[in-house]
Amino acid sequence: MIDRDFHLRDHDLYRYIFDMAVQIPTGMVSTYGTMARSLGDQAASRAVGMMLAADHARPFKVPCHRVIYSDGRTGWYTGAGKGEERKRELLLSEGVPISDGRVLDLERTVFKDFRVDPILTRMADSQRELAPLVSEHGDAMRFERIAGLDVSYDGDRAFSAMVTVNRDGKVLEEKTARCQVNFPYVPGYLGFREMRPYSSLLNKARQDTLYLIDGHGRAHPRRAGIACQFGVVHGIAVGGVAKSVLTGSMETGSLYIENEEVGRVIKDGQGRERFISVGNRVDLTSLCSLVSSISHNPTTLAHDLCTRYRKGRS
């Protein structure tokens, strides 16, 4: 039994980072990588830097100047390419040793003892728990209703769209929604950023509809990308239709991870290259056949719709 609420919750990663930053003592620094590892995954290092630099509401004063690069470079302050001198001035005033733009004696100066919930570890574990629940059986060609879903962002505001078509590509239904998302993109954890925007499009999940998500399913390091999360949590048939590879290696049109075929590259009905992987309750061969046979890829239609919606609402 999976924890549905955990997959659908708005996990505020900003608050995690802000809470960690205030733990860094005066006279010490930490690094983006150290903070990411404390959360559970080094892959979040870039996201840590982006969150500290973001124009995002802060419930208290955050000493983001105390977070530096792992090689000792102090880096920017108040945005990309800005405030390097001001950051060094602040650190020097707090007693941090700096020479030639780098913090000295990192072994002594870098703070590592954060008191924090390793949320990314828990997320990765939840994906591993979900992966065995994915069904890779079911004929995608039996569906007469195919819904494409995509999401577009303006900062941390998500604008999602769903376009449902029939097998001839005729549009049957369009729907849009928006919500605040406080979880930035971290490689391997896209599902926790996009489950809420996608789920807000469902009044009730339909068993007579195949849902196509702009993202990966089985073609994921833990075999549980956003298409799998969406499919298992809602108990529906889902396919992943991605524009690029997240992980694995391509061999003669198939995508492999550890010698397991987890996806294929095809051309959709409009001639665009797409990476297809199972999300839930369909098999890979019939899913590829369906996506390539529809004259208008509904995920492309959803992309166009949510872009228009975002521009009209921003």
Active site residues: 64
Separation of first and last alpha carbons in the chain? 39
109's CB contacts (< 8 A; 6+ apart) are 28, 29, 96, 97, 103
Residue 125: strand, helix, or coil: helix
Each as own residue / partner, the long-range contacts of residues 51-57 (CB below 8 Å, 24 or more positions apart, any chain) are 51/13, 51/14, 51/17, 51/184, 52/17, 52/21, 53/78, 53/79, 53/80, 54/14, 54/155, 54/184, 55/155, 56/14, 56/156
- For the record, the structure tokens of 281 come out as 């309750």
Residue 208: strand, helix, or coil: coil
- Of 258, 248, 251, which Cα lies nearest the Cα of 225? 248
- For the record, the structure tokens of 235 come out as 């108990």
Residue 222's H or E segment, with its range, is none
Complete DSSP assignment for 182-199: -----TT-HHHHHHHHHH
**Which residue do the tokens 């020097």 mark?**
92
Q: CA-CA distance, 35 to 47, in Å (whole number)? A: 10
- For the record, the structure tokens of 43 come out as 């892959």
